Structure formats: structure tokens, C-alpha cells
């Protein structure tokens, strides 16, 4: 399973990269705004900075919701760097644009997916990644993990190459559960990824080893 970090914060991206487990980055307009990155030129430059840090795919989201606008923005984003993946919303014109980008050999990430039917359409259009938002489904008392499982079954039935990128990860157990179900990728806050490091028996065991060492040295 690939590990992406869901942020536009360069320090967090560097931290994850230094940990040696980072496979890519996902961003969105909200994450850019959170870091104070505004204006088209500044946003484009920020994507380039991210690509300089990480070796894997970097999802960059279009703002347009009409076909021609999505194509124009997507091609501009893709021209920035060969690591850029064009992030396109799951709407009718978005699906059309994904097919266009696929035929052009450009990588895409179909975002804001909340049903297996939407994921099926994204795969049919040739999306590189599909991003089901499991945390947001949990927020409305729907099990987001069930959606990951359903998409996995459908994709395996027909050997679709689209990768399931579990998004809206809220905590460490989401990562574990996605790994069990067979998500190809998770994109997560750094805190949830680092949560995988922690276990009380590891901490107490290390404390005991160090304490015993000090007694004899």
C-alpha cells in the first residue's frame, strides 16, 4: 500500500519524506488556503516546491467545473512537472475530462467519490486514481470502509487498473483498516501516519531495556 500525505505544508511533507515511507502528496484548494497560498502563480510555484521534495505523484486539483475549463487548467498543471496528477471532481464534465486526459497519457485523480457507482465511472474513464472520502461518509453515519470494500470487489471483478486512493483519513485505525480491505493508497494527515509508530508495549519495553542497560554500565 502506498502512503500519500494530505497537506500543502512543506515542513510536514519533508518530515514524511525523511521518515522514508512517503510515496506521494495530495492537495486541494482548502489545504492551499490553510497555508496562505493564494493566487494562481503562487499555487503553481508551490506545486513545484512540493515536487522538489517528494519523488512520487503529486495531485493538483482543478478549480473549474466545466469541461473546457477543466481541460485548460489540467493541461497547465500537468505541464508544470511530470509528477503532477490532475485532480478532477466526480461530475459529468469531470468524467469526460478524465477520458480526455487518459487518452493524452496524463495521470488523473478522480476526487469527491462517495459511491461505488461513481468509482465505476471513474475507472471506465481511465482514471489513474479514485479518491473515496471515507471520513466524510463516517461523519454522516455511513461506514466509509464499506465503500472501499465495494470498490475493491468491483475493480477486481473486471481487472480495472485504477488505484483506490482512500481519502479523508481521520485516524490511525482508518489506515490499518484500509490496508486490510485492500486500498492501493491512503492519503492521510502526518499525525495519523505517525500514529502507526506508537504502541505502549514498545515504549515500556524500550524503557526497560534502557533501564537494565544503565544498571550494568
Q: Just list the catalytic residues.
A: 87
CA-to-CA distance for 66 and 71, rounded, in angstroms?
Answer: 9
Q: How far apart are the first and last CA of the chain?
A: 42
Instruction: Give burial (CB, 10 Å; 0-12/13-18/19+) of 20.
Output: exposed
Query: Which residues in 132-143 are b (16+ Cβ under 10 Å) and which e?
Result: bbbeebbeeeee
C-alpha distances (whole Å) from 61 to each of 52, 80, 194 are 18, 13, 26
Cell reading at 103: 487518452
Amino acid at each position: 500500500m502506498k502512503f500519500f500525505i494530505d497537506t500543502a505544508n512543506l515542513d510536514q511533507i519533508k518530515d514524511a519524506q525523511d521518515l522514508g515511507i512517503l510515496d506521494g502528496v495530495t492537495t486541494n484548494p482548502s489545504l492551499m488556503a490553510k497555508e496562505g497560498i493564494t493566487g494562481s502563480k503562487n499555487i503553481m510555484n508551490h506545486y513545484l516546491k512540493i515536487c522538489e521534495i517528494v519523488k512520487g505523484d503529486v495531485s493538483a486539483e482543478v478549480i473549474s467545473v466545466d469541461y473546457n475549463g477543466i481541460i485548460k487548467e489540467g493541461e497547465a498543471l500537468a505541464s508544470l512537472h511530470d509528477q503532477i496528477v490532475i485532480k478532477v471532481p466526480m461530475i459529468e464534465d469531470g468524467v469526460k475530462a478524465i477520458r480526455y486526459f487518459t487518452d493524452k497519457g496524463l495521470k488523473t485523480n478522480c476526487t469527491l467519490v462517495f459511491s461505488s457507482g461513481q468509482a465505476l465511472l471513474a475507472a471506465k474513464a481511465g482514471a489513474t486514481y479514485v479518491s473515496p472520502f471515507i471520513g466524510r461518509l463516517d461523519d454522516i453515519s455511513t461506514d466509509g470502509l464499506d465503500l472501499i470494500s465495494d470498490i475493491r470487489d468491483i475493480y477486481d471483478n473486471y481487472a480495472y487498473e485504477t488505484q483506490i486512493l482512500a481519502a479523508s483519513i481521520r485516524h490511525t485505525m482508518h489506515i490499518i483498516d484500509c490496508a486490510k480491505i485492500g486500498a492501493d493508497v491512503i492519503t492521510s494527515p502526518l499525525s495519523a501516519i505517525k500514529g502507526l509508530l506508537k504502541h505502549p508495549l514498545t515504549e515500556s519495553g524500550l524503557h526497560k531495556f534502557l533501564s537494565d542497560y544503565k544498571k550494568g554500565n
